[in-house]
Amino acid sequence: MKLADVEANMQKTIESTQRSFNTIRTGRANASLLDRVMVDYYGSPTPLKSLAGISTPDSSTILIQPYDRNTLNIIEKAILTSDVGLTPNNDGAVIRLNIPPLTSDRRKELVKVAAKYAEEGKVAIRNIRRDAVESVRKQEKGGEISEDEAKDLQDSIQKLTDKYVSKIDALLKEKETDITTV
């Protein structure tokens, strides 16, 4: 068990949490809102960004331009059935998603969603810590490392955990500010 591996796993968790935050609508158009939208393309779920160019011509519109016009209707259907909460406008060539301004109630809901994503990230980091500490204990019992080394490693793992949990808290605070700013 290496400390670098533990830190790498925690960093991946931070990145995953950031991607989850990016899917939350903030009242401004952002192409990453559609990152989780999967389109049933010839019987297999395909990410929307593989089938279309996604751009934001202004702060309240997302423009989806399919590479193949025949996919317009299935892309529209996928957006409607997704949890994005936006209604697509299909003009036969492109799909436009208009981002309405958020109400204060909706902002509060989105802050709760962000808090949920942050908690999931923290749980994942704590799970990484638990696994790493168990690994250290096994090494200690197996005689691979001394009791002092095991204690030092466990302290280092806890410091990493605290560092990455505080990073998630900082990301959450940033996202809350983003959501609540009108």
The 10s digit of each residue's pLDDT in 95-120 is 998 888 878 888 888 899 899 999 99
Whole-number Å distance between alpha carbons of 66 and 53: 6
Domain ranges of the chain: 3-21+103-180, 28-98
The token pair at 152 is: 């030092």
pLDDT at 1 over 70: no
* Domain 28-98 of CATH type 3.30.1360.40: yes
Per-residue model confidence (pLDDT) at position 122: 96
The number of beta carbons lying within 10 Å of the beta carbon of residue 142 is 8
Q: What's the average model confidence in pLDDT over 166-170?
A: 96
Query: In Å, what is the CA distance from 125 to each residue of 17, 69, 92, 160?
Result: 11, 43, 46, 9
pLDDT digits (tens, 9 = 90+) for 61-100: 899 999 988 889 899 999 888 877 788 998 888 999 888 8
Same fold, 3-21+103-180 and 28-98: no
Q: What's the average model confidence in pLDDT over 8-17?
A: 94
More confident residue, 24 or 170: 170
Q: What are the beta bridge partners of residue 96?
A: 63, 89
The CATH fold assigned to 3-21+103-180 is Topoisomerase I; Chain A, domain 4 (1.10.132)
| Global confidence as pTM | 0.71
The one-letter amino acid code at 75 reads: I
State the sign of the Cα–Cα–Cα–Cα dihedral 33, 36, 37, 39: positive
The token pair at 126 is: 């704590």
Instruction: Report the DSSP pairing between strands 52-58 and 44-47.
Output: unpaired
Whole-number Å distance between alpha carbons of 13 and 119: 11
pLDDT at 34 over 70: yes
pLDDT at 170 over 90: yes
